[in-house]
Structure formats: C-alpha cells, structure tokens
C-alpha cells in the first residue's frame, strides 16, 4: 500500500536529515567544556574518537574517514602531539616504514574516556527508552547511510 512508502517522501527525508544534524550537534556539544578545558575543539574530538575506536589507524585511513585535507589533519595531529598535550602517539608501521600509525597515549585514553562518559550518558538514556530491535534497526540504518 501507499502508506508503506510514506517514509520515502521528501518531507520525511528532510525531517530525518534535520534530526541527524541535531543529534550530531547535541551529542558532540555535550563534552565541549572538557575539550575547551584542554584547549581542543571538534576537530580534535573527532580525531581522538577515531583513534580510540581504531588504534593504530593509518593516516591515509583517517583522511578517508574524516574527509579532511592533509594540511588540516597535520595541524590537529601536531597540536595533539605537543609535549604539553601528549594525547596521541605516532609510530612507524612494522610492515611499511612509510606508513604512520596513530595511537592514544595514556593521557589521551584518559581524556577520551572522560569525553565518552559524557556522550554515553545521552545515548544510554535514549537506548533505554527503546526496544532492542529499535536500537539494532537504528544502527543498521546508520550503517547503510554511511555505506552509500
């Protein structure tokens, strides 16, 4: 029936896009006080999160995932590697010395865990008001959006 396809209407898709934007804004603004206290912003947060979830990630993979320029990534990496920050560690790959791999330092892990706990609170509250099937379906839809 036609009602089964109402979710495909432009208005519904616009509403979903707006919700995705709002979700990103609120979930990434929650830890802003922690980031500001450490002299970091959203670009640093995205990189720290990516490295935490992918220890030993290659620079080329970061560029692909974050869709940023080498220049902007280099700036953020430099700021996170400074002696007083010491948030990330860069190592040469054992397989290919031309490849640089990024890891969080102990200090970086502590910072990310503080940020994650703040973000996790919002997500857990939402998930607790959902069924297991809703959470699984939500994740599947997000993965399909990213895969396009």
pLDDT tens per residue across span 120-145: 999 999 999 999 999 999 999 999 99
Give the mean model confidence (pLDDT) for residues 94-117.
93
Query: Model confidence at 94, in pLDDT bands (50, 70, 90)?
Result: confident
pTM: 0.85
Are 112 and 104 in contact by the 8 Å Cβ rule? The answer is yes
Three-state SS at 99: coil
Distance CA 95, CA 142 (A): 33
Question: Is residue 85 over pLDDT 90?
Answer: no
pLDDT number for residue 138: 92
Query: Model confidence at 12, in pLDDT bands (50, 70, 90)?
Result: confident
Task: DSSP letter for 112, please.
Answer: H
Are 6 and 12 in contact by the 8 Å Cβ rule? The answer is yes
Query: Model confidence at 148, in pLDDT bands (50, 70, 90)?
Result: confident
Query: Model confidence at 13, in pLDDT bands (50, 70, 90)?
Result: confident
């Amino acid at each position: 029936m036609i009602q089964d396809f109402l979710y495909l209407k432009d208005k519904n898709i616009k509403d979903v896009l707006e919700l995705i934007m709002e979700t990103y804004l609120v979930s990434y603004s929650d830890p802003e006080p922690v980031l500001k206290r450490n002299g970091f912003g959203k670009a640093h947060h995205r990189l720290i999160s990516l490295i935490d979830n992918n220890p030993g990630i290659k620079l080329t993979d970061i560029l692909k995932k974050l869709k940023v320029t080498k220049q902007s990534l280099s700036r953020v990496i430099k700021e996170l590697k400074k002696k007083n920050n010491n948030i990330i560690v860069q190592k040469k790959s054992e397989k290919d010395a031309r490849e640089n791999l990024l890891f969080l330092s102990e200090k970086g892990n502590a910072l990310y865990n503080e940020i994650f706990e703040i973000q996790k609170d919002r997500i857990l509250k939402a998930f607790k008001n959902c069924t297991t099937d809703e959470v699984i379906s939500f994740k599947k839809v997000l993965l399909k959006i990213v895969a396009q």
